Chains A and B, each alone.
Chain A
Amino acid sequence: MSVLTSRRGFLKGAAASTAAVLVIGVAPSGAMAAGSAAETTMLNPFVKIAADGTVTAIVKHFEKGQGPATGLTTLIAEELGVSMDAIEYEFAPSNPKLYNNTAFGPIQGTGGSTAMFNSFQQYRKAGAAAREVLLQAASHAWDVPVAQLTLEDGVISGAGNKAPIGEFVAAASTLTAPEEPRLKDPSEFKLIGNANVRRKDTPPKINGTAMYAMDMQLDNQMVVVIKRPTRRGGTVASFDDSTAKDVKGFIRAATLPNKAGVAVYAENTWAALQAREALDVTFDNTAAERRSSEDVYKELMAAVNTAPEYNLTKNDQAEIAGAIDKADKVVEETFYFPLLAHAPMEPLTCTIEATEDGGVILHDGAQMPTSPHAALAQIFQLPMEKVQIKTMFAGGSFGRRATPTVDYQVEAALAFVMTDRTRPVKLVWSREDDITGGYYRPAFAHKVRVGLDADGNIVGWDHRVAGQSISKGTPFEAFSVHDGVDHLSVEGVTPTPYSIPGMFAGLTDIKPATTVLWWRSVGHTHTAYVMESMMDAAAVAAGRDPVEFRLAHLAGDTADQKRLTGVLKLAAEKAGWGNAENGRAQGVAVHKSFGSYVAEVVEISGDTENGVKIEKVTCAVDCGIPVNPDVIKAQMEGGIGYGLGHAMRDEITLEDGEVIQQNFPDYEPLRIGDIGEIETHIVLSTEAPTGVGEPGTPPSAPALANAIAAKGPRVTELPMNKAGVTFA
């Protein structure tokens, strides 16, 4: 059963409330429970069981590779009592009342490494509730007390009776699911924590049948590509399509209603791309951005060398600076981080078609279905129920598919609005559109001074941060901006888990030079680099071992300190810390992000002049109960690769307001030979599960920088190749 066709069946079945399809869920909790009494007793459709016994998990998080299609399905299968082979999954329709991310409030969406964190209890309860009504139905049918019945591997048995769950589906659908079903004790888990559970999305992804949004081929569809202004704030003044008309398959060109580009409509993708090449567009750049990266760099450096706009630690900066001045040793570094593109493997795309009842369907690798749902309803002046979102596989995101402006879905909607709506419109971004199209990890600078006493202990830490806020001026402002401070700019600096007496931290916002966005691990992309580079530099200045130095400053009693200590010791032990092979060097970093604790040791050979080779990365992660250990390992591997590849050689630069880089040749991705080996160790925790999609990224680049610093210069400006490091 394919993901797409079966969902259609689910909606139809659920609407008709047929006995053949059983929809079971649990009462909402948290933000959702604040509604009316009727809402709190509403069944939440996470589990579907057909009369033939086929179980389907309704997955509320989109699958961009981080594994929720496997993870959420595992939770249902575990508590319901079926094997992983006996359960299918479908992506949920857009319905934030049922499928909201409980960490986000009333919004359905994926991000911030929250998929497992916010679903763990919810999906377990849904599976357990399904088990209980099935057992009740069997109890009635056989006249045997529920206590004497068990449900395992999809079969109910007890008191001499035995039958597959499919036989009880119709009867169970008439029963009310308990609000607080009995959940398994972790000692009873068969699937949660089982390293042999395989990904549910592997089969279609190795034979070409997995359907991504880019793969939409609706009858009679048009392909649209957009010629956009090359500078932020530019608009379309006029265009000439006389040459484009010579391209076979070209249909027409039209300026978007918001003048943010010219839409080129064609019969197929190649014709659209060719016609766009032939299109001559004049842009109005009077209000456009004209700064270059050098200007932004100077602005950032000036900002970290003057009094910060916001005092994050609410203390006296002069007093702390004075204490540092009197310290036995002082370590000072200034850091710079460039703009970075996400560049997911699948360029941005989505398709809109009209329905017979006057509504529309959006086919999308939808990261935040609630956002395009609302945006399309507004653009098409339709009630929400007339807009459907069909979530497809997404070819990566790293944050890019969730923008406050709903950018690419709005483009597609505007392109569709300008047609008679008889033909579906598929919007396609090229790789050049993606690399030059904005929504970058913002550029940041940090300046840090650390004072050490005669024993090599930290006595003062003066930390200034400057950069462009991700959230300010967007609908997400209320979520992350408090007292003027965008938490996303400074997360990872303060509060710090290190015991640092006399820490000052300040932030200065700089005005937007381009559109910026969360990028895998958000603020931690730069804050972890700075904190862990400074801890390393301080350890060296103190003449202490970098691992021992960190452990000494994590020696307190907080849960964060204990868990960071745990992963740091584990990574150091497994990496053979201090025993690198001859000619090799090691670097370490440890960081908490998205509720998870990760330590990494990078071991390198070679040197900065003749070429550094990353031989091995040893990773230890504590993400609470490890639901799918192999998926967690894969996420650490991927997060590490993402962090290292960009730190090694990637940046987006502006010149006269225009982006210089165009495609992979000048925004070079990590390649297979760049990292020798990654070894991941998972802490066996009993804490609630936390994120894994992002936490592998923050420690990777500083661990590499610290390894390089162990035998050469300390790299404080990225990318490393621009700072004089060559890689083998």
Chain B
Amino acid sequence: MAISLKLNGQTHSVEAEPGTPLLWVIRDELKLTGTKFGCGVASCGACTVHMDGEPVRSCQTFIEDVEDAEITTIEGLKSTPAQAVQQAWTELDVVQCGYCQSGQIMSAVGLLSENAKPTLEEIDDYMDGNACRCATYQRIRAAIVRASEIMEA
């Protein structure tokens, strides 16, 4: 079926069967590879994108359910919280292998967009679904705190 997909401010017409995860449309059809495949069962968060501004796991979001939504991927990030998060991630050199970091950043931006000054506990709760096998967690936590400060400044 032909689907009209609004992604990063542009409208794309894509051909995909119902039940196709948004992840594979983004990666294999639109060739935007910043959104990662990690588990396919919404348990690692590497595929996190924004749907109408809210983080969702694109591996368990199906193409027929996104037709009227605005999808944002790591390549399309430009909000104030997004800039603050990317700056903080740079200052603290959060990344190691980096494979999960698009998803971490998408979730962190989601958190700061709804809660500009989260507590450490709120950060841990919100980021719980984003796995990082390199265990960069304490830098992720510190970078979210730093991003919050940048937004406040």
Chain B binder among A310-318, A451-459, A632-640: A632-640
Q: Is there contact, CB below 8 Å, between A675 and B41? A: no
Q: Is there contact, CB below 8 Å, between A346 and B99? A: yes
Q: Is there contact, CB below 8 Å, between B98 and A205? A: yes
Residue of A nearest to B39 (CB): A431
Which of B28, B29, B86, B99 contacts A345, CB < 8 Å?
B99
Q: Is there contact, CB below 8 Å, between B44 and A207? A: no
Residue of A nearest to B144 (CB): A672
Which of A212, A431, A631, A669 contacts B40, CB < 8 Å?
A431
Residues of A participating in the B interface, judged by any CB pair closer than 8 Å: 63-67, 198-199, 201-212, 214-215, 217, 223, 248, 268-270, 273, 343-347, 393-398, 430-432, 630-631, 634, 637-638, 640-642, 645, 663-665, 669-675, 677-678
Interface residues on B, range: 35 or more
Known contacts A431-B40, A663-B43; A638 and B21 CB within 8 A of each other: no
Measured in the bound complex, the distance between the Cα atoms of B135 and A678 in whole Å is 11
**3 nearest A-B residue pairs (beta carbon):** A208-B34, A641-B135, A395-B99
Measured in the bound complex, the distance between the Cα atoms of B90 and A206 in whole Å is 8
Measured in the bound complex, the distance between the Cα atoms of B137 and A642 in whole Å is 11
Which of A205, A395, A645 contacts B135, CB < 8 Å?
A645
Which of A214, A432, A634 contacts B96, CB < 8 Å?
A634
In the complex, given contacts A63-B97, A634-B139, A672-B132, what are 19 additional A-B residue pairs having Cβ atoms less than 8 angstroms apart?
A206-B98, A206-B105, A207-B34, A207-B86, A208-B35, A208-B73, A269-B24, A343-B133, A347-B38, A395-B99, A396-B99, A396-B133, A398-B133, A634-B96, A642-B133, A669-B132, A672-B140, A673-B125, A677-B138
B145 within 8 A of A: no
Measured in the bound complex, the distance between the Cα atoms of B125 and A270 in whole Å is 31
Residue of A nearest to B130 (CB): A672
B75-125 contacts to A (CB < 8 Å): 75, 77, 86, 89-90, 93-102, 105, 123-125
Measured in the bound complex, the distance between the Cα atoms of B30 and A451 in whole Å is 67
Shortest CB-to-CB span from A298 to chain B, Å, is: 32
B17 within 8 A of A: yes
Residue of B nearest to A617 (CB): B138
Which of B36, B37, B125, B139 contacts A637, CB < 8 Å?
B139
Shortest CB-to-CB span from A696 to chain B, Å, is: 10
Measured in the bound complex, the distance between the Cα atoms of B23 and A269 in whole Å is 10
Q: Is there contact, CB below 8 Å, between A208 and B39? A: no
Q: Is there contact, CB below 8 Å, between B96 and A638? A: yes
Q: Which of A347, A396, A672, A677 has the most CB of B within 10 A?
A: A672
Measured in the bound complex, the distance between the Cα atoms of B36 and A223 in whole Å is 16
Shortest CB-to-CB span from B133 to chain A, Å, is: 5
B11 within 8 A of A: no
Q: Which of B38, B98, B136, B141 has the most CB of A within 10 A?
A: B98
**Chain A residues whose C-beta falls within 8 Å of the C-beta of B17 in the assembled complex:** 248
B74 within 8 A of A: yes
Known contacts A198-B90, A270-B28, A431-B39; A672 and B99 CB within 8 A of each other: no
**Chain B residues whose C-beta falls within 8 Å of the C-beta of A345 in the assembled complex:** 36, 38, 44, 46, 97, 99-100, 131-134
Which of A202, A268, A645, A664 contacts B89, CB < 8 Å?
A202
Known contacts A214-B37, A270-B20; A208 and B135 CB within 8 A of each other: no
**Chain B residues whose C-beta falls within 8 Å of the C-beta of A344 in the assembled complex:** 97, 99, 133
**Chain B residues whose C-beta falls within 8 Å of the C-beta of A665 in the assembled complex:** 41, 43
A-B contact pairs, 23 of them (CB 8 A): A63-B97, A201-B95, A206-B101, A207-B77, A209-B34, A214-B33, A214-B36, A214-B99, A248-B17, A345-B97, A345-B131, A345-B133, A347-B37, A395-B98, A395-B99, A395-B100, A396-B133, A431-B39, A634-B139, A641-B134, A669-B132, A671-B131, A677-B138
**Chain A residues whose C-beta falls within 8 Å of the C-beta of B133 in the assembled complex:** 343-345, 396, 398, 642, 669
Q: Which of B37, B46, B99 has the most CB of A within 10 A?
A: B99
Known contacts A207-B34, A214-B36, A346-B36; A198 and B93 CB within 8 A of each other: yes
**Chain A residues whose C-beta falls within 8 Å of the C-beta of B46 in the assembled complex:** 345
Q: Is there contact, CB below 8 Å, between A268 and B29? A: yes
Measured in the bound complex, the distance between the Cα atoms of B23 and A214 in whole Å is 13
**Chain B residues whose C-beta falls within 8 Å of the C-beta of A677 in the assembled complex:** 138
Q: Is there contact, CB below 8 Å, between A395 and B43? A: no
**Chain B residues whose C-beta falls within 8 Å of the C-beta of A674 in the assembled complex:** 137
Q: Is there contact, CB below 8 Å, between B97 and A269? A: no
Residue of B nearest to A395 (CB): B99
Which of A209, A270, A638, A663 contacts B134, CB < 8 Å?
A638
Shortest CB-to-CB span from A692 to chain B, Å, is: 12
B27 within 8 A of A: yes
Q: Which of A207, A344, A640 has the most CB of B within 10 A?
A: A207
Measured in the bound complex, the distance between the Cα atoms of B33 and A268 in whole Å is 14
**Chain A residues whose C-beta falls within 8 Å of the C-beta of B29 in the assembled complex:** 268
**Chain A residues whose C-beta falls within 8 Å of the C-beta of B21 in the assembled complex:** 270
Measured in the bound complex, the distance between the Cα atoms of B97 and A67 in whole Å is 9
